[in-house]
Amino acid sequence: MASPQTENGFTKIANEILEEIIKTDFSKRELKIIFAVVRFTYGFNRKEAELSIRYLSTYTGINFQHINKTLTDLQHKNVISFNEPENHSQSRKIKFNKNYSEWNSEKNRNQNGYTSNKNRNQNSYGSVTKTVTETVTKTVTNKERYKERINKEGSFFLELVPSELKTDSFLSLWKEWINYRKELKKPIKETTAKKQLKFLALQSEPELIIEKSIMNSWQGLFPLKNSSIKKSVKETEDDDTPKFKPEPGGFFDKIVKGEFTPPAKV
């Protein structure tokens, strides 16, 4: 039976902030991210915490590809803030904004005298029926065209993945990368997929490269700082560096085979 005790650790946070979080209409994913950020900032008596997308996904149970969008939504609502890392090997430093009067929530907008979209549409319904109908029809048509284009280009290009990259962990990350680019409305085409897979096959840490690009909202893949480049199989075969071969029955050959007997001491 679980028996949590404050002496084993606790997060010190003002009741006023908790009450405001409860009152605000956050989504389930947003609430999980908020409490995760609070846990790793207030819980460690610090103002900001360095949290990677991969870690937040594991900690909150939110699918990896939804973390970045949720963070961006909370940033737009001014609930959290984060800075872009200086290089590919760093994670974002995320900070919670305790001044809830600055949050761009529906609750705050209504308190400041803004009328909801629903009320505005009801007040002007009679005069804009035709315009609204035309706009909705156009929007639906554009969405259908976009979906058709995505479906056409929606392959994960798994047939292009080099054999050395065909591991479960890499294929999973590659699919997340394809889905992430779709969310940006920048779907990857076959030509781009070939170039990116060829690039990743030469890198020592291809999975980390994909993770960093998604975490930092980048549209491309970039080599890690101080990373090494693997030699291709052909380069290894063509390597004409002289290779040492011990002479059969010679001194080194006997050492390798364990047949060498050191001379007796005089």
Instruction: Please give the C-alpha separations between residue 69 and each of 12, 62, 184, 217, in angstroms, as whole numbers.
Output: 28, 11, 10, 9
Q: What is the pTM of this model?
A: 0.45
Per-residue confidence (pLDDT) for residue 236, from 0 to 100: 46
CA 245 and chain centroid, separation: 49
pLDDT at 27: 94
| Cβ contact 54:211 at 8 Å | yes
- Give the SS3 label for residue 95: strand
Q: What is the DSSP letter of 3?
A: -
Q: Is 9 left (phi over 0), alpha (psi -120 to 50) or beta?
A: left
d(CA 57, CA 63): 6
Instruction: Report d(CA 211, CA 236) in Å as an integer.
Output: 29
DSSP calls for 153-195 = T----GGGS-GGG-SHHHHHHHHHHHHHHHHTT-PPPHHHHHH
Angle (CA) 215 220 223, round 5°: 85
Alpha carbons within 13 angstroms on the beta-carbon side of residue 14 total: 7
- Domains of the chain and CATH, by start: 11-111 (1.10.10.10), 158-237 (no CATH)
Per-residue pLDDT of the chain in tens (266 residues, 90 and over written 9): 888 888 778 898 999 999 999 999 999 999 999 999 999 999 888 999 988 888 899 999 999 889 989 999 999 999 999 876 655 566 778 999 999 999 987 666 666 554 445 454 555 455 545 555 666 566 656 656 655 554 444 578 999 999 999 999 899 899 999 999 998 889 999 999 999 999 999 999 999 999 999 988 899 999 988 766 665 545 445 555 555 566 676 766 666 666 666 666 65
pLDDT of 116 reads: 46
Question: Number of helices (H) and strands (E), helices first, in the chain?
Answer: 12, 3
**CA–CA–CA angle 235, 239, 241 (5° rounding):** 160
**Residue closest to 79 by CA, chosen among 15, 7, 24:** 24
